[in-house]
A and B are shown apart, each in its own frame.
Chain A
Amino acid sequence: TDNFDFSRYHTIDEIYSFQDMLVAENPNMVSKIVIGRSYQGRPLNVLKFSTGGTNRPAIWIDTGIHSREWVTQASGTWFAKKIVTDYGRDPALTAILNKMDIFLEIVTNPDGFYYTHTSNRMWRKTRKPNPGSNCVGVDPNRNWDAGFGGPGASSSPCSETYRGPRANSESEVKSIVDFVKSHGNIKAFVSIHSYSQMLLYPYGYTRNPAKDQTELHALAKKAITDLASLYGTRYRYGSIISTIYQASGGTIDWTYDQGIKYSYTFELRDTGRHGFILPANQIIPTARETWLALMAIMDHTFKNPY
């Protein structure tokens, strides 16, 4: 993976190969878990970074649940390499990995991602057909069992925010739900999107504040301050409903309600000129600055066990 070009966008097959190479190069730290299959049968790969032990407390990171947000999958690939490179060199990451595991799902919506490369660059949803409709796919970030079906999600299969027929109807979502429940010891959950430059915490489906709001807010401030220290990129932060809009059935609302206190979602860099077509030369700067915020969240999780 030293020769992998992190400064350009890659197809799903290239990312799958990268994952296998990383595992082969780091057999004592990295393993690949297939937590399920997408609707079209693609593996839902999760990289596990672990230095030993069983069922250690863990941190979950996923990228690319909305397929067209290419900078997220590209950043996830960079994070994977960063973790193996920095272990043993960066004291903070080393301390975390000596006590905790990190799970990283780089392509959370593989059917959609493949579709963006082959058929429709602007595709966001999954690729499961909807009976009775010509429109395909479900917004996997409206499909979680957290205020499912409430305001801020669409009941129309043709909408970009279609919630699906029922919570967890999408295997891409259900597979994570099953994994999180069966693991039972995940302490932080970070879901990464692009592009609005925001760091958000629960809730999206209700105006009720999360019971840990004060701590989550302070940690978000620390994370975006660290992020901005590299290139000055400015982020907004707060709860989903107060910072963007009401959204029901979202990922981190469900994880928070499962008891995962440090639940956050990112919206990565926005040049204000290109939208989802972020130039490839922005990938590494985006990944580098985001890593600083991720480290702030992971370090806080490590130092504040619960």
Chain B
Amino acid sequence: NFSMDSEVHSSFIHRRLRSQERREMQREILSILGLPHRPRPHLHGKHNSAPMFMLDLYNAISNEDEDEGFSYPYKPIFTTQGPPLATLQDNNFLSGADTVMSFVNLVEHDKEFQSVQRHHREFRFDLSRIPEGEAVTAAEFRIYKDFIHERFENETFQISIYQVLPEHSDRDSQLFLLDSRVIWAAEEGWLVFDITATSNHWVLNPMHNLGLQLVLENVDGQSINPKIGGLIGRHGPQNKQPFMVAFFKATELHIRSIR
């Protein structure tokens, strides 16, 4: 009966789900999304730097052809008053990513380590929960640099990012230099460091994931507190917190199991 069909159709659309139906619907949709359970994030920091960065990325790609992978709009996402500080030279590999994931820094407090030799700041990211069947195609470490009023505009600093290597019995943990660049005191914006190789290494060898170290030096080569250089840490504004972002490409075809 057509009229009955219409009623059924109409009621199907508008009827509110009962709690049991709702739970089943949730389970079904989670299954479609490939998630074993509903994620329960500890923090609700939607205004933190990483979620905001990801939301910008989402908005940028949402108008594109959905059949294609993400094409990464590689302009500085957080435009600030100053010029963009850094961009990756080659972003071809970023287009075609199936998944993009940001990672929060797990170091609880900014320990502005002041060893005998030098100041440094540590960062750690948990890459153990990356989506199944995905390979890292690119990864970046992002840290915000604020304008420093107390400094001369033409003053420069050297910022270096190191990968912390595991300790051996005969020596302390070593550092492997990933990138180094000179920044002006007057500059402001996001600094972006390519950590693709390191991320791949960490994914393959989770035990070797001992994080990153950042060292800031003045023109005389003396290490200085990163805070003095305007680098935002955990005590800075939420939307300027350092984070890591990785781009993934599916390595295998996911076939949903028949239920």
Partners in one complex: no
